[in-house]
Amino acid sequence: MIAVKLWGRFLRSTGLRATDVLAIVAFAFATAAALLVGGGILAFWNRTLADPSDYVSNNTAVLSLVAGALLLPAIWTLSQSAVRLAITRRDARLAALRLVGATRGQVAGMTVLDTLLQTVSGVVLGIGLYYALVPAVSLLPFGGAAFAGQELLLPIGYVGLVVAAVLSIALVSAISSLVAVSLSPLGVAQRTKGAKPNLIRIALLVVVAGVWIAVTQFAGLVPANFMTEQGWMIFMLVMMTMMGVAIAVIGPLVVWFIAFLFAAGARSAQTLIAARTILDDPRSSFNTVGPLALGVMAGGLASLASMFNGVEDGDQMLTDLTIGAMLTVAIAGVLGAVFAGVSQSARILDRGDAFRSQHLMGMETGVLVSSTMRGAVIPVATLIGTSVAGTLLLMLPFMGFLAGNATPVLVWLGIVVAAVALIMLATWISTLLLPRVTRVA
Amino acid sequence: MNDFQTSAQPQPAAAHPAYGNPSPAQQNAGPVQNPLVADTADIQHMPRVTPSALQARGLELYYGKGGASTHALRGVDFAVGQHGPEAVAVMGPSGSGKSSLLHVLAGILTPNNGSVMWRDEDIAMMKDGARTRLRRSDFGFVFQSGQLLPELSAAENVMIPMLLAKTPRAQAQRRAQGMLHALGLGGMFDKRPGQLSGGQAQRVAIARALVTGPGLVFADEPTGALDQATGASVLQLLTHQTLSRGASLVVVTHDPAVARACTRTVRLEDGIIVSDARHDQQPVGAAR
């Protein structure tokens, strides 16, 4: 009860701060994305249920689950970053409260209340954003026809479920983040865990690789006519999920290794600071671009499907596959951009004192801007670049077929470029905070 | 009056490419660049910078506008380094204008009135970009805390000002390590600020401040976050390393012990200098 009273008093006295706005924006985009993806999946399944014999809608419904699975990590990551923002920016206040005798439970309770308020505000905005975006998304033609507006609108009960899911993510994340934070009277310290190679991570990777090999071997033994089409789809879903887990496990390590190379070879202060910042928290860099890299690869391969157009009755499904994949890449790009903006802004605000000192000692604000931008470019260029290059390599044998209809591939490349540009734009917008944090008096 | 002189005479030297192009102020002032040597063995016998004087006249500084404005500096005249390298303690109660004076002298803040002459140029008239470059090339800074980037190692933090001045990385690394070695941090090159004690972190900050061979070092409560014994040791190192290189030191402090270790103490009250006295005792750095 005391925690609630104190929380209310602090809320009235401090009002809304920049970090609160960032957290609310992150929750709003996470909610809107979750609702849009949920609405899309429900629409596809409703079409399937209306005509269970429709081959195209059956497969599209399963593929919509794949797209949802691809976007889930991005939504989860964004929600978690919002929670961390809510906690780490309250260092001084939390430590002061502990110093004057507040218990760890009371301080933790206030933090959870803060997070809940931000989550609810973000969720309300997110629901508004979702309703605003539905008309635009419904213009995309799936199954040969655009969606009717109400097809993508989730029933109120489902909206409640999504809201409950986002709130649960926020609560679970808040509690787990509080466990990772030492709230002592002397200050708040983040018990950070690096992403350097460790035995557990490597063991997990070995297990995933082992299961992958076993499953693929098993799949080879199954007679082709034994599995139904939907069975193969589910099999593919499992395989893609495992691929996602593998990428999530090794992704931060790859980012760490690349940043290590950049740090070792850095000739300028900007590159050195950027690489060291990534090495400090490679998971954060990976979270910005990881889901997008995965989406880029899936989208590229899906765009390849267009070359089979004109073969029997698969035309419509392949068209749907291509459009769905592009939509997935676009949503992953937007979520990546929001995450980049939120995490970089939080970093700049967190490092405010150090950046101000650097500026006082003669480091131009432009150098800090440049190092922040390089911190975004290094993982984007390497992960997205590798993803695009790898996909293009896979496409190489089919280039002859694509010559006649290269539009889907060009659209895919265009969306990738736009997504990367959006991430860089969001990062640049975060650097507008730098003159504010380096200002003296 | 005891005009402090260091034991060795200044050793003018040609500008060293490692420090990048000299600032306009340095070019006007003749042979002021004095490079630090590249390796550890030579770091103890570094050539010193030619002493330079900073002279401020009629400094006025206001915070805010209209009726709510605060008059932080009221016609302050201040000079440092006119008779050779010296360590000046700036003391006074909270809100007396100590930090404001330091910020104006270092070109961090522009005074509303008055001039700050350094190597034949008025810092107060310079544009923001030129003042930032001047701070990097001509001055060193030691703050109470927060001047080290937590992501970088000790050696990398010391390398930063040299990399900003386009010094080749290998050379910057050698010099940073040499400087850290000279300050007793030989085994700490790869440690990050979070892995260092308060005293060790301040020694890294001193290395960062001195590695480019500044003519003047500004310190704002450099021992404020340290215990008494560590603070005394850090202060001894700061004054000795600064003065023995031929540079002057301006320290803003509340601590009388810090003031006693300097060669001169200036007292401020309500934005006015109320006393300016040289000490009889030799400064810590002069004993060598």
Q: Do A354 and B150 lie within an 8 Å CB cutoff? A: yes
CATH number of the domain enclosing B233: 3.40.50.300
Clarify whether residues A186 and A214 are in a common domain.
Answer: no
Chain B touched by A12 (CB under 8 Å) = no
A92 contacts: CB under 8 Å, gap ≥ 6 = none
Q: Say if the ipTM goes beyond 0.85.
A: no
Question: Quick check: is B89 in a domain?
Answer: yes
- Among A273, A364, A441, the residue with its CB nearest the CB of B149 is A273
Domain containing A413 equals: 198-441
Q: What whole-number distance in Å separates Cα of residue A232 and Cα of residue A224?
A: 10
**Alpha-carbon gap: B1 to the closest alpha carbon of chain A (Å):** 33
3-class secondary structure, A227? coil
pLDDT the model gives residue B55: 93
The first and second tokens of residue A325, run together, are: 């994949």
Q: How is residue A155 annotated by DSSP?
A: P
Clarify whether residues A225 and A317 are in a common domain.
Answer: yes
Q: Do A269 and B164 lie within an 8 Å CB cutoff? A: yes
Q: Do B133 and A279 lie within an 8 Å CB cutoff? A: no
Taking only the tens place, the pLDDT of each residue in A39-49 is: 888 887 787 77
Clarify whether residues A185 and A239 are in a common domain.
Answer: no
For residue B89, CA distances in Å to B51, B111, B236, B258, B270 come to: 18, 21, 14, 7, 17
Taking only the tens place, the pLDDT of each residue in A290-338 is: 878 888 887 777 776 666 555 445 566 667 777 777 888 888 888 888 8
Domain final residue pick, A148, A177, A192:
A192
Domain count, chain B: 1
Q: Which of A423, A226, A198 is nearest to A330 (CA)?
A: A423
pLDDT the model gives residue A196: 54
Mean pLDDT of chain B, nearest integer? 80
Question: Quick check: is B208 in a domain?
Answer: yes
Clarify whether residues A247 and A175 are in a common domain.
Answer: no
**Where does residue B56 rank: exposed (0-12), middle (13-18), buried (19+ CB within 10 A)?**
buried
Question: Quick check: is B143 in a domain?
Answer: yes
Q: Is the pTM of this model over 0.90?
A: no
Taking only the tens place, the pLDDT of each residue in A11-38 is: 666 656 666 787 888 889 888 988 888 8
Q: How many CA atoms lie within 13 A of B61 on its CB side?
A: 31
Dihedral of alpha carbons B231, B233, B235, B238, sign? negative
Clarify whether residues A344 and A284 are in a common domain.
Answer: yes
Q: What whole-number distance in Å separates Cα of residue A18 and Cα of residue A436?
A: 12
Question: Quick check: is B258 in a domain?
Answer: yes
Domain containing B220 equals: 85-103+127-266+274-282
Taking only the tens place, the pLDDT of each residue in A215-227 is: 666 655 555 555 5
B interface with A, Cβ–Cβ below 8 Å: 63, 100, 103, 106, 108-109, 129, 132-137, 139-141, 143, 145-152, 156, 159-161, 163-164, 168-169, 208-209
Q: What whole-number distance in Å separates Cα of residue A354 and Cα of residue A51?
A: 62
Clarify whether residues A188 and A238 are in a common domain.
Answer: no
Residues of A in contact with B163 (CB under 8 A): 266-269, 272
The first and second tokens of residue B270, run together, are: 């309500």
Domain count, chain A: 2
Q: Which of A361, A365, A368 to mutate to test the interface with B (most CBs of B within 10 A)?
A: A361
Clarify whether residues A262 and A383 are in a common domain.
Answer: yes
Clarify whether residues A181 and A205 are in a common domain.
Answer: no
Assess whether pLDDT exceeds 50 at residue B8: no
Clarify whether residues A179 and A226 are in a common domain.
Answer: no
Taking only the tens place, the pLDDT of each residue in A331-344 is: 888 888 888 888 88
pLDDT the model gives residue A183: 57
